[in-house]
């Protein structure tokens, strides 16, 4: 656990409304964050020092430095006297547009007097002096007084348990997943859920999903994209074979098969239409559009402070030659659409550049070039469900391409917390209910987010880890209704 993470976690066990807290926040591991002094009972409503960060010039630079700033805040906690810290990163405005502010940080004090005293300390001044190192877009500082119900009704409270690093992190995480509190069980709904798995044909993944739904008492139907029929007559009804998709509670959209441009557009349009009728589609049509297109994925990750390797996308061969030189002469050329490493080529000399670029020009393709990253022959696939890391594998191969479908070998990996956080942030950035996130650790210590797969496979991952991935996914879908997928 990083010191910055310990700061936030150690301050969560406090009363969530403005009545006096019975106990101070629990002490964190003193090797991680300086221990906080016991908090005095508030003499009135809590005071909150709020910092609203405007969008920085470089979100990536902001995120890289931010843990250092949080460490400074944590080291000054005792002197400043705050009792709780909360950090927020804004994803969008309510209308879906870019939010006016980038991040928010809040420090909670027992009352106004304590807040004013804390703001006069040298430790608080040190925190303020550090803003110039990362808050390049400016910020707004506010002092607020908490308002709330002052009745005798019991306040909701958060209870935090801080675990030391276990001997076996992978076993610990699995046990924690098995024991975590669950939400309402949707399988108890009258008649059970009506589930349709939309795919091109039966296969290992659809068999796994059908097995798990059946084991949990749910009847799931397999339907084909190629058999879709949409009828617009006094309303819109959508079916595929005997499956009535427009009457389903859940449509689990698996890999969309190859087809003409019109066929692909129609299949995605159907997913949009189902969502407009209130059918839950996982992953959402918008998510699929966002992740099937490598340019949109890269741009989305960059916008959320998760930059992939330096990338140039263009249509003209002249621009491609120029981009290759800008990227250092050694690049990975990828198809804009595709997975499993198909169509990827490494171009590191003039002859291969001429051959590959001419071929792309001939088929009127788009040039997607990424700087080749110096790594030790491995990358990481992380499977994320509901903003939680379910499993991770390390994929190794003698060359630069490590995909299992292209001959790579996999082994289970206990993911470092920082890498797990990176994978979850990437999945959340594109709005995924579940996703396969590819991380590439470079020799210089940088970890790049290569891509986010919105319709990921998991056969190799399950074989390497022994985790029932379909079981975890279905349990999440049955217990955690998906609201407002972006």
Q: How many CB atoms lie within 10 A of CB 199?
A: 21
| Rounded Cα gap, residues 206 and 208, in angstroms | 5
Domains of the chain and any CATH numbers: 3-164 (3.30.70.100), 192-290 (3.40.50.20), 310-371 (3.30.1490.20), 378-468 (3.30.470.20)
- Rounded to whole angstroms, the Cα distance separating 428 from 301 reads 10
**Reported pTM:** 0.60
Give Cα separations from 439 to 189, 219, 328, 343 (angstroms). 39, 36, 21, 19
Cα–Cα separations (whole angstroms), residue 324 to 22, 357, 371 = 62, 11, 8
Q: Which H or E element spans position 177?
A: helix 169-179
Alpha-carbon gap, residue 252 to 220, rounded angstroms: 10
Q: How far is CA 441 from the centre of its chain?
A: 18
Tell me what pLDDT residue 324 has: 93
Collapsed DSSP state (helix, strand, coil) of residue 51: strand
Instruction: Give the position of tokens 């002490």.
Output: 27
What's the pLDDT at 441?
92
What local confidence, expressed as pLDDT, does residue 479 receive? 84
Per-position pLDDT tens, the chain of length 486 = 333 332 222 222 222 333 333 333 333 332 233 333 344 444 457 889 999 999 999 988 898 898 889 889 888 888 999 888 888 888 888 877 888 899 999 998 888 888 999 999 999 999 999 999 999 999 998 888 765 443 333 333 333 354 666 766 656 655 554 454 444 445 444 346 899 999 999 999 999 999 999 998 888 999 999 999 999 998 899 999 999 999 999 999 999 998 999 999 999 999 999 999 999 999 999 999 999 999 999 999 999 999 789 999 999 999 999 999 999 989 999 988 866 556 788 988 899 889 999 999 999 999 999 999 888 888 999 999 999 999 999 988 766 565 545 556 889 999 999 999 999 999 999 999 999 999 999 988 899 999 999 999 999 999 999 999 999 999 999 987 555 444
CA distance 193 to 480: 13
Which pair of structure tokens corresponds to residue 180? 């975590």
pLDDT of the residue at 159:
39
Tokens, residue 481: 């209704």
Number of C-alpha atoms within 13 angstroms, CB side, residue 395?
Answer: 24
Structure tokens at 308: 């992939």
> Rounded distance, CA 406 to CA 424, Å?
26
pLDDT of residue 388: 95
Strands 250-253 and 280-282 come out as parallel
Q: How far apart are CA 364 and CA 356, in angstroms?
A: 12
Distance CA 148, CA 463 (A): 51
Q: What local confidence, expressed as pLDDT, does residue 16 receive?
A: 30
What are the CB-based long-range contacts (under 8 Å, 24+) for 444-451? 444/374, 447/418, 447/419, 447/422, 448/307, 448/308, 448/309, 448/373, 449/301, 449/306, 449/307, 449/308, 449/422, 449/423, 450/308, 450/309, 450/379, 451/291, 451/294, 451/297, 451/298, 451/308
């Amino acid at each position: 656990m990083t010191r910055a993470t310990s700061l936030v976690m150690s301050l969560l066990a406090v009363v969530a409304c403005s009545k006096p807290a019975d106990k101070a926040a629990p002490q964190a591991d003193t090797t991680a964050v300086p221990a906080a002094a016991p908090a005095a009972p508030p003499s009135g409503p809590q005071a909150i020092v709020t910092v609203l960060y405007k969008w920085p010039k470089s979100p990536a630079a902001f995120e890289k430095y931010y843990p250092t700033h949080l460490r400074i805040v944590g080291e000054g906690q005792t002197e400043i006297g705050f009792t709780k810290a909360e950090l927020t990163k804004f994803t969008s405005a309510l209308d879906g547009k870019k939010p006016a502010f980038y991040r928010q940080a809040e420090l909670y004090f027992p009352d106004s007097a304590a807040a004013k005293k804390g703001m006069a300390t040298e430790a608080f001044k040190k925190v303020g002096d550090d803003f110039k190192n990362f808050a390049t877009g400016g910020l707004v500082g506010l002092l607020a007084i908490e308002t709330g119900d002052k009745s005798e009704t019991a306040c909701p409270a958060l209870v935090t348990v801080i675990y030391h690093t276990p001997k076996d992190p992978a076993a610990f995480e699995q046990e924690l997943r098995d024991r975590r509190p669950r939400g309402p069980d949707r399988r108890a709904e009258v008649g059970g859920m009506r589930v349709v798995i939309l795919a091109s044909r039966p296969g290992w993944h659809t068999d796994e999903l059908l097995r798990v739904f059946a084991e949990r008492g749910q009847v799931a139907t397999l339907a084909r994209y190629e058999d879709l029929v949409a009828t617009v007559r006094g309303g819109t009804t959508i079916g595929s074979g005997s499956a009535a998709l427009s009457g389903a509670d859940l449509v689990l959209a698996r890999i969309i098969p190859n087809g003409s441009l019109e066929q692909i557009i129609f299949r995605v349009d159907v997913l949009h239409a189902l969502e407009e009728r209130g059918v839950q589609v996982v992953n959402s049509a918008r998510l699929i559009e966002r992740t099937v297109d490598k340019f949109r994925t890269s741009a989305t990750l960059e916008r959320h402070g998760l930059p992939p390797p330096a990338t140039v996308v263009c249509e003209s061969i002249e621009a491609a030659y120029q981009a290759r030189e800008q990227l250092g002469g050694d690049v990975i050329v990828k198809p804009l659409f595709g997975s499993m490493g198909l169509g990827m080529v490494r171009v590191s000399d003039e002859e291969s550049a001429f051959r590959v670029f001419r071929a792309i020009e001939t088929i009127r393709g788009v040039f997607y070039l990424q700087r080749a990253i110096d790594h030790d022959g491995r990358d990481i696939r992380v499977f994320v469900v509901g903003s939680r890391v379910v499993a991770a594998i390390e994929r190794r191969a003698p060359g630069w391409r490590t995909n299992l479908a292209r001959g790579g070998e996999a082994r289970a990996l206990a993911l470092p917390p920082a890498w797990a956080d990176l994978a979850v942030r990437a999945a959340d950035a594109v709005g995924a209910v579940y996703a396969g996130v590819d991380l590439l650790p470079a020799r210089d210590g940088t970890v790049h987010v290569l891509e986010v797969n919105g319709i990921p496979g998991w056969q190799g991952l399950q074989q390497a880890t022994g985790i029932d991935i379909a079981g975890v996914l279905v349990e999440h879908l049955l217990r955690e209704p998906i609201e407002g997928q972006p």
